[in-house]
Amino acid sequence: MNTAHKENHSDTPPGNMGAVAGEAARRRTFAVISHPDAGKSTLTEALALHARAITSAGAVHGKSGRRGVASDWMEMEKARGISVTSAVLQFAYRGCVLNLLDTPGHADFSEDTYRVLAAVDCAVMLIDAAKGLEEQTRKLFDVCRHRGIPVITFVNKWDRPGHGALELLDEIEREFRLRPTPVTWPVGAPGYLRGLIDVRDPDRMLRYTRTPGGTHAALEKAIPAARAAEEEGADWGQANDELELLRADGAGLDRDSFLAGLSTPVFFGAAVSNIGVRLLLDAVVDLAPAPAARELEGGGTRPVDAPFSGLVFKVQANMDPAHRDRIAFLRVCSGVFERGATFTRAASGKPFATKYAHSVFGQDRSMVDTAYPGDVVGLVNATALRVGDTLYAGPAALFPPMPTFAPEHFAVARPADLSRSKQFRKGIAQLDEEGVVQVLVSDTRGEAAPILAAVGPMQFDVVQARMAGEFSSRVHLETLPYRLARATDPAGAEALNASQRITGEALTRVRDKALLALFPDKWQVGSFERAFPDARLGQLLAAHE
């Protein structure tokens, strides 16, 4: 088990609200976002390595016998080399406490990523130098813009052939209407990286020597400009010409415009070789915002030095096979979290006691007694909590609800072994609470054959893997021909189920009792609206919006 992250918490006496603002100022809570295969989990591991929270780094696509990244702990993640669930890594660096949230890159797991973005103050957007801006990156950036989350950009894989640096900056500005302001600049074309220039100290070049397998931080050496010019020749000259062009264009770092969402500081490097990662980590400390007042549902804000409040943004069961427990991940938004304290659950108005609270580092965990705004606390076996819940002390607080997306894939789930029906029901209920899939039921099919609704088909793979591995109940899935979901009312549900001419089905979502009308295509939706003009059909939030 890693131990470096245990030293994060301050000795500030619990309840000393005068110290809360100071503790909040030391926190940086950020997510790493990207399109699949851009190197997101590898960068997450490299950041933890440079902060000395771990002693060696794995890689998602490591060689045989090499361990995987700390943030990818599920067997499915290790086998496929992708992140399918978010993870939390908390560690100390330069006197600050960093809460790093690794997110799934695959579009099929958009809901998990969007929930994580509700819990962070900044995002590191990872771009593959060879592929440029990709579809999922665009979607995630739009969410950051909508939530007012400032974005730092890291252009990854500069040790491989790819697009030119100026070309990538033009693409960022054109696609995102965001001013790119380089903080580091590559010497050498992509695939032929000779070093990096820190734009704030341009009279030297940082040269890197890779360590075997990239398991340790690359050796970094500062080379004076005169020597770099002599040794690197045309590459050094071109890099400086490009920087001069950018300076003339006014592309200098401006923290105020970054925090306002008008510009993005840009860094170049190669996460798998740990090149350029230290400079990015320093930027998170120096540029990323500390926790601030958060908006409340219905208006107003909750200042960081107000009494305790927190947002549950994720629920996860069975992270550690030895424990088989359930953890609710809570972002502390204001005040001091104290283990053992009793807070109010906003959804029910009932008291909630926090007996078991952990600081989390990937799959590892350690007991935590106090936490401050920006910290992420794992509440163990908090079975009453759901994603989107608010806990608070003192004056009431309720944070805006988490989005639930319109599913586009549907399948009837049945236990492969009827003798495991109890485990089947328990597992399906747990996965629904975590938001792995949405679970729908109907009067005709009954609760013994729930319908699983997903944004993407890979969610079904997660269900089958986790049901077999964690709940000892293999699942058979029967795909249904529906592709569109609409919100409806009792009259609309009754009309759809009674109609003989329109293909579709009305179901109840277990999580919130909402009625959904399912259709195979937009033409059937139109037919229903013409046949039943008084029935309500409402749009649901689409994952691609």
> How far is 509 from 512, CA to CA, in rounded Å?
6
Q: Which of 383, 361, 394, 374 is nearest to 330 (CA)?
A: 374
State whether the Cα torsion 377-383-384-385 is positive or negative. positive
- Amino acid letter, 276: G
- CA 234 to mean position of chain CA atoms: 41
To the question of whether residue 106 is assigned a binding role by annotation, the answer is: yes
Query: If you ran DSSP here, which 8-state letter would residue 405 be given?
Result: B
Element (H, E) at 165: helix 165-176
d(CA 75, CA 61): 14
Which two tokens mark 344?
Answer: 């109010």
How many helices (H) does the chain have, and how many strands (E)?
A: 14, 31
Q: How deeply is 353 buried, as exposed, middle or buried, from its count of CB atoms within 10 A (0-12, 13-18, 19+)?
A: exposed
Pairwise CA distance, residues 525 & 520, whole Å? 8
Consult the annotation and say whether 508 binds a ligand: no
Cα angle, residue 152 at apex, residues 147 and 158 outer, rounded to 5°: 140
**373 is annotated as contributing to ligand binding:** no
Give me the phi and psi of 214, to 5 degrees please. 70, 20
Q: Is 103 annotated as a binding residue?
A: yes
For residue 337, which of 364, 295, 369 has the smallest C-alpha distance?
Answer: 369
Q: Scan for tokens 């509700």, then name that residue.
A: 118
Going 192 to 193 to 194 to 200, the CA torsion angle's sign is: positive
SS3 408: coil
In whole angstroms, what is the distance from residue 486 CA to residue 537 CA? 6
Beta strands in 355-481 (DSSP E): 357-361, 364-367, 370-371, 376-380, 390-392, 409-415, 438-441, 451-454, 475-479
Contact 329, 307 (CB under 8 A): no
Element holding 353 (H helix, E strand): strand 350-353
Strand partners, 332: 310
Q: Which residues are registered as beta bridge partners of 316?
A: 327
> Is residue 104 a known part of a binding site?
yes
Own/partner contacts of 8-13, CB < 8 Å, gap of 24 or more, are 8/90, 8/91, 8/92, 8/97, 8/359, 8/375, 9/97, 9/359, 9/368, 9/369, 9/370, 9/371, 10/370, 10/372, 12/336, 12/370, 12/372
Tokens 């060879």 label which residue?
130
β-pairing verdict for 27-33 and 122-128: parallel
**Which residues make up each annotated binding site for GTP?**
102-106
Q: Which residues are annotated as a binding site?
A: 102-106
